[in-house]
Amino acid sequence: MLKSLVTFAMLGGSAAAACAQDAGPRGITTYGVLDAGVVGERGCTNACTTRVGSGVASASRIGIQGSEAVGQNTSAIFGFETELRLDTGRAANNHETGRTLDHEQRRNPGSDFAREHLEHQAWVGLTGEFGAVTIGRQYNLEYLALADVADPFKGGTAGSATNLIGGPRRTDNSVQYYKTLPNGFSAGASWAARDLDTSPAGRAWGMTVGLTSGPLTVRAAHRNQGAVRAQLNYKTSNDMTSKNSLLAANLRLGWGTAYAAYSMSRGISSSPLFNPDNPYAAGMARTPSNSSRDVLFGMAVPVDRSFTLLASYIRKDDRDLANQDANQAAFGASYAVSRRTDFYAAYSHIRNRNGAGYTVGNASAPGSGNKAFNIGMRHAF
């Protein structure tokens, strides 16, 4: 029950058909996630707060998706999701809410945020026996491997693996191909054009391969993305490309599911800390890792059909001369009261070393301190 709810909340796909509000002759459906909770932070550079947050376990959103047969065994498909903020009742527009830049904006130096992206995804494509080809703003393949396969917290709450591993969650101007192959194999590739300026920001490519065999799921992914131009006095290098490679796995056992991941991150924007040349970055740490090796171990243990315990440990080994390592220990629980509704709680503590500035965020916010707890409710429709 919990697994199906979280999968829907992440990708907005499988449960949408079952929960459709409008299924017309072309197969158009609407779906959404409403998530709100209390977020408390500790260990902030400035004063910490306890506040009501929106999209803590899964970003609150509403979306539509649809398909139409356009040939023999071929369909046109589309999807669009826009973010909502339950704490203010408004769309996630920074000028309206008066808030700082959101999780994606703070951690994705390759995007032009003057355009104020509010959509989680916006894509159109074709699907058939050949696989699926989609074009638009989409989750990148490396993030999907991390959140879908290796992270027991599925990229949300204070326990999110994205606090220490990987870069941005989504990519603009992208083309993706994905196909499920015989015998449990799958493969995909992606390419993204650069932003409309002279910098390499946004130019990206990626690939993924996976295998599901009985209780074991393994997926590997790699992603290259151009970053904004670095200043010559930046502490590490002037490399304009971030490279994130990930090997993710989970194993379903009698007592629950065990999770593991190994990540290699290289380049100026390969870490969760944003690029130091971001003009909105004045209040944040300016020393993101330029090279690291990251290891994750986690578990999800169902106590009964409704109640699940979660835990993970992440070790970030910084290979730069500054040696700014970090460790994250996270614990959580979810109680599903139905197929579409659950309550959750989570606590995470990041131990930064040698001046590292990693913070405990969640599905929609980067966080301000090295400790955080969450208590909230999520409903998918």
Give tens-digit pLDDT for 128-185: 999 999 999 999 999 999 999 999 999 999 999 999 998 788 888 899 999 999 999 9
CA angle 143, 149, 155 (to 5 degrees): 50
Is the pLDDT at 46 greater than 70, yes or no?
yes
Residue range 312-321: average pLDDT?
A: 93
Calpha distance 302→6 (Å, rounded): 14
- What residue segments make up the domains of the chain, in order of their start? 2-380
User: What's the mean pLDDT when you consider all of the chain?
Assistant: 81
Cα distances (angstroms) measured from residue 361 to each of 3, 158, 184, 351:
22, 6, 34, 14
Residue range 23-28: average pLDDT?
A: 59
Calpha distance 311→297 (Å, rounded): 9
- The tens digit of pLDDT for each residue in 197-243 reads 545 566 889 999 999 999 999 999 999 887 655 444 444 445 567 88
Give the model's pLDDT for residue 168: 81
Is the pLDDT at 35 greater than 50, yes or no?
yes
The correct CATH number of 2-380 out of 1.20.1250.20, 3.40.50.920, 2.40.160.10, 1.10.240.10 is: 2.40.160.10
- The tens digit of pLDDT for each residue in 322-342 reads 889 999 999 999 999 999 999
Is residue 114 very low, low, confident or very high in pLDDT (cuts 50, 70, 90)?
very low
Is the pLDDT at 19 greater than 50, yes or no?
no
* Highest averaged pLDDT of the listed ranges 180-184, 264-268, 346-350: 346-350
For residue 339, give the amino acid letter. Answer: R
Helix (H) and strand (E) counts for the chain? 5, 18
pTM, full prediction: 0.81
Task: Determine which of 71-75, 92-96, 349-353 has the lowest per-residue pLDDT on average.
Answer: 92-96
Q: Residue 171 is encoded by which pair of tokens? A: 């990519």
Give, rounded to a whole angstrom, the gap between the first and last alpha carbons of the chain: 14
